[in-house]
Amino acid sequence: MNDIGPLGWLTQKLDRLGQLDDVDRSRLAALTTRIEQVPRGRQIIREGQIPDQCCLLVDGYACRFKTTAEGDRQIVSFHLRGDILDIQHLLLSRADHSVQAITPATIAWMPKTELIKLAWERPELGKALWQDCLIDASIFREWVLNVGRRDAKSRIAHMLCEFAARCQAAGLGTAQAFDLPMTQEQIGDATGLTAVHVNRMLRILERDGAIARKGKEYQIRDWDLLRGIADFDPAYLHEAA
Partner 1 sequence: MHVQLEPIRVETGSADEDGRLVIYKGKLVGILVRIAEPGVWKGYWSVEWIAGMLHHPPPFATTGEAADWFSDRFAQGGLK
Binding site for partner 1 (CB under 8 A): 70, 72, 153, 192, 194-197, 199-201, 203-204
Give the residue with the Cβ less far from partner 1, 5 or 192. Answer: 192
- Closest to partner 1 by CB, 192 vs 234, is 192
Shortest Cβ distance from residue 204 to partner 1 (Å)? 5
- Minimum Å gap between C-beta 63 and partner 1 is 19
For residue 193, the minimal CB distance to partner 1 (Å) is 9
223: Cα separation from own chain's centroid: 21
Burial of 182 from C-beta contacts in 10 A (0-12 / 13-18 / 19+)? buried
Q: Quote the Cα angle for 120-121-125, to 5°.
A: 75
Helix ranges (H only) for 76-150 are 112-121, 123-149
H or E element at residue 111: strand 105-111
Would you say 27 or 200 has its CB closer to partner 1? Answer: 200
The nearer residue to partner 1, 50 or 196, going by C-beta atoms, is 196
CB of residue 189 to partner 1, shortest distance in Å: 11
CA distance 39 to 43: 9
CB-nearer residue toward partner 1: 185 or 217: 185
DSSP 3-state assignment of 4?
Answer: coil
Report the nearest approach of partner 1 to the CB of residue 187 (Å): 14
From 60, 78, 39, 43, select the one nearest 163 (Cα to Cα): 78
